[in-house]
């Protein structure tokens, strides 16, 4: 991922549920262009933050063995705009996992108000893409630590999450 549209995870239950936070600050460059004189977080970036929350949940569930892509957004509704100073809480719940992918429902909240609701379908790449690298494992491993997945995450039995073998990279020089 080149840009992170979430700041950190608050909760992370493998294969079930994740909650993340996004603080919207005037320090973010895109707010100065969208819209000049009336800064708002573009809805497309809220969608991306929700998709990252759900997508990392789906990826982690498979131990990062599957290459997961956003395939479709069948439904998205925005109730009001997000502005600088707002703290959005993204929640993603896995509704269904199949051999082809997963369906996730996600919401963005500002306090007790729902800011956005979304359904997203993720697909697993297969065949010709299996030996292609979508992300550098070192970068993905680092990102998961920055987002605190391993600090707040737990598996289906409630045990703390560990670094999956697919992301384990031997130290340099070995």
Q: Which residues are catalytic?
A: 34
Cα separation, 149 vs 146, whole angstroms: 8
Helix (H, G, I), strand (E, B) or coil at 112: coil
Return the structure tokens found at 24. Answer: 């919207």
Q: Which residues contact 5 (CB under 8 A, 6 or more apart)?
A: 22, 45, 46, 48, 49, 52
Return the structure tokens found at 54. Answer: 């759900």
Helix (H, G, I), strand (E, B) or coil at 30: helix
What is the secondary structure of 14-29 as a DSSP string? TTTEEEEEEE--TTSG
Beta strands in the chain (DSSP E): 8-13, 17-23, 68-78, 87-97, 101-110, 113-124, 153-154
Cα separation, 110 vs 102, whole angstroms: 26
């Amino acid at each position: 991922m080149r840009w992170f549209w979430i700041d950190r995870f608050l909760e992370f239950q493998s294969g079930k549920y994740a909650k993340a936070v996004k603080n919207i600050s005037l320090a973010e460059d895109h707010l100065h262009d969208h819209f000049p004189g009336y800064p708002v977080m573009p809805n497309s970036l809220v969608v991306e933050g929700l998709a990252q929350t759900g997508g990392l949940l789906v990826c982690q569930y498979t131990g990062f063995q599957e290459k997961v892509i956003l395939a479709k957004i069948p439904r998205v509704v925005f109730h009001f705009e997000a502005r600088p100073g707002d703290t959005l809480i993204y929640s993603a719940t896995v509704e269904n996992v199949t051999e082809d992918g997963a369906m996730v429902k996600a919401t963005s909240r500002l306090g007790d108000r729902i800011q956005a609701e979304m359904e997203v379908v993720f697909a697993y790449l297969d065949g010709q893409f299996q030996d292609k690298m979508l992300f550098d494992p070192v970068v993905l491993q680092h990102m998961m630590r920055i987002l605190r997945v391993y600090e707040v995450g737990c598996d289906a039995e409630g045990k703390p999450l560990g670094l999956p073998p697919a992301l384990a990279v031997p130290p340099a020089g070995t």
